Structure 1
């Protein structure tokens, strides 16, 4: 392996740190690398061509009072494949907040688990206000650029997807009504459009927009909602965009005191807003479903008079507002997939009758699913889901879910080895939905190393075809994407 150190950034985290999300699988790294001629166990497929990107939340400075893993600074990891070779890079996303804290040598913003008044900075971002826009939740590729985003709404920070060169922010000449952009914008590979939503803490409207293949804003609509809500994800079909108003949202009494505490309203249905992709607020179709909170959706498609939506139903959404079994670091039990009891679920919306039907598609806890991106907004058969570690937010296995046959295939990681959300990369000239590879960054804590695994998407339980060494053990994080070279 050939490695070049690009930069190392200062941090004031204690050497003897014992925070569960700054140690072990979540131990942060503060050095940026370029690496090539990577050491490989096995063989990198010759027909794997493109770039795998992952966003990780990286702790840099001690918090003003309390650290939450979702507010770590964004570090993007990129591994590019072609001709049986791979090249790796990692970079911090140079957000305005990251640069300001590096200059100050300390944390300047209160985290999501703190009262906003704790902030030292004079201004902030996010739907609730006075947060640091960490850009550390999601990463997608649109029009040849990687876009890093923050789940509480922020800027879309642009990077070269291969070199991770900083390209500032995407505004498309607008300010999104002051809302920013939420963390799960979607790219339709068939049209080249990017779809997004945004919101503010006191606004009854949810913003919905479309950026066309030329990078211009073609649609922006204010969708009336039943009250201020914080949806986390969206989906789309060929003709419809699907937004949701969850049954879990900020507690009104706590908000009056300046706190942001989630409460599950079990007597309020989950509401879905279906809007034509370039439609108006008057064309929104509302559908009701069983109360829950949706963290992530898998995909959606049209089937005759119905729109079919796959995602994950939380059978214990109230845990988001609950406590913790660790009194020193409270509030983290909710982050475990098993704690929220998330299971694959399917909703069907009948556009003719206005009725919703729904049912589980799996009895196993899983989340963070990926599909073959060529099927986004179109009918899909397979999803590739992450399996959670009990008691913490981390992944220790992958599950291939055949939604037509109702079967599941599992790859379990060895003890102390943690995987990442695994995008599906179709092989060059692929001929079937699962004809390609799964990619996952792996953190092996007992052996203090990280690798990128390449798995056969048709039978991932067979184990990696290739294990590619990385320069340093990387931290756990949230989302990832695959961008074909084209």
Structure 2
């Protein structure tokens, strides 16, 4: 395997004994191009065509005081599959904040666990003092990759194949774009939301397949909230108001302390996809917090919503953690929070909400075949976390019709990424395709890209290829079909007008 080093960055990271600056979370400061990855096992299938994009938290400069992994700078990693060949690229997301800190030679903004007064310049998004790291999520829409930040930022676009930077969308609204924008493959629309500390506290928007903002409306909330994800069906968008949010009294003193209020219900806003604030219908359910939804669809008079219910949204401090990091370690441990696959049903006729548990295992970061997003679906693929750590070591496939499930566990010392579903060319069924994932191999000090046959889940990877370095871990990823973004593709043609 050969590769070209595009750029080496000079950083100022001093890992010390910080648990999320070493091992699978060790920062990477090298950008490369690699067009002939070393095949470690199996053969690269010829019936897959598209790109796998993974966003990682990858800090370049030392924190001011206490580092949180979500403070890391965004770095996108890309594996492109076509005709049995695989190419790899990785690039920092060149945000305005990162560029300013490179010019400064060090941090300019405080992090999640630091005093906002330490920030030397105004920040972005809901918090107001944080850097827009664009390090949380990534999707492909209108032929372009779009990376986003969970506290709301401007959003940054890249070419999905070359990772060339293409700047901020001209439609980015005043309050930014939250992570977890949703792409409807059927309509080509991008659905998004944002949130802030000023009324109405949340907005919802729609960008069409030609990358034009065509709808933007307030969704008023009682106060500042911390929504993290949204869902959609053919006719509706679903937003939320959970009882886990900043303490309103402390917020008056510019202290961003998260509290859980178990006496308040979870609330779900169901809004027509082109509806306004007056069209919102609210449904109440058991108090919880949900980081990620799996899918939603309409069934008769009901909307069915699947996601990961937290049994303990405000867990006790992590025992044995380094002083000062007890709370951080707890909020990064899905076992402490008890994240379980769950289903909500909202009856549009009666206003009633029904709930049921779909699996008692601790699971999160679910993926589906995106062709079925917003529609009735059968198969789901959830990630399994290593207890005590924000890293994954396996997956569970669910058949939601029969209740069957299959689990794949990685060998010790190997850690996976969120794994989107990549359909086979000419697929004939919903699970006819592959899960795609980057795997950190601590035994070799490098990462690998794996394809897992979704129809033969227990077998494991059908092929493994070695990357030229070890990527840092992170949060989200996506798959985009080649025909949807290459020249002549449906989305590429739309983007060109």
| TM-score of the pair, normalised by structure 1 | 0.97
Match of 1:467?
A: 464
Partners of 1:22 and 1:64 lie apart in 2 by 14
SS in 2 for 1:102: helix
Q: Deviations over 1:83-142 (max 9, x none)?
A: 10000000000001111111111111000111110112x221120101100000000000
C-alpha distance in 1, partners of 2:65/2:38? 42
Contact conserved, 2:369 with 2:431, CA < 8 A, in 1? yes
Match 1:332 to one of 316, 321, 329 = 329
Among candidates 358, 363, 368, match of residue 360 of structure 2: 363
Distance 2:296 2:135 in 1: 25
* Secondary structure of residue in 1 paired with 2:219: strand
Please state if 1:23 is matched with 2:22.
yes
* Pairing 1:267–2:258 present: no
Matches within 5 A, 1:292-331: 292-319=288-315, 322=317, 325-330=320-325, 331=328
Residues 342, 367 of structure 1: 8 Å contact kept: yes
Cα distance in 1 for partners of 2:35, 2:226 equals 41
SS of the equivalent of 2:389 reads coil
* 2:181 is the counterpart of 1:182: no
How many Å apart are 1:460 and its aligned residue? 2.1
RMSD of aligned alpha carbons: 1.2
Is residue 246–residue 258 contact of structure 2 (8 Å, CA) maintained in 1? Answer: yes
Distance verdict in 2 for CA 1:261–1:323, change over 3 Å: farther
Is there any run of 5+ residues in structure 2 with no aligned partner, and where?
Answer: 484-497
CA distance, structure 2, for counterparts of residue 344 and residue 80 of structure 1: 31
CA offsets, 1:399-458, max 9 Å, x none? Answer: 111111112211101111100000000000100000000001000112212100000011
2:200 and 2:218 in contact (8 A); partners too: no
Alpha-carbon distance, 1:199 to partner: 1.1
Query: Which position in structure 2 is the counterpart of 1:69?
Result: 69
CA contact (8 A) 1:55 1:477 kept: yes
- Normalising to structure 2: TM-score of the pair? 0.95
Structure-1 residue corresponding to 2:134:
135
Who is 1:376 aligned against?
373
Query: 1:17: how far off?
Result: 2.5
The answer to whether the 8 Å contact 2:125/2:151 transfers is yes
- How far did residue 323 of structure 1 move? 5.9
Q: Are the counterparts in 2 of residues 193 and 210 from structure 1 also a CA contact under 8 Å? A: yes
- Aligned residue pairs total 480
Which stretches of structure 1, 4 residues or longer, exceed 6 Å deviation after superposition?
none
3-state SS, counterpart of residue 117 of structure 2: helix
Is the 1:333–1:392 Cα contact (8 Å) retained in structure 2?
A: no
Question: Which residue does 2:493 correspond to in 1?
Answer: none
Question: Which residues of structure 1 form unaligned runs of 5+?
Answer: none
Secondary structure of the 1:478 match is: strand
| 1:43 CA displacement | 0.4
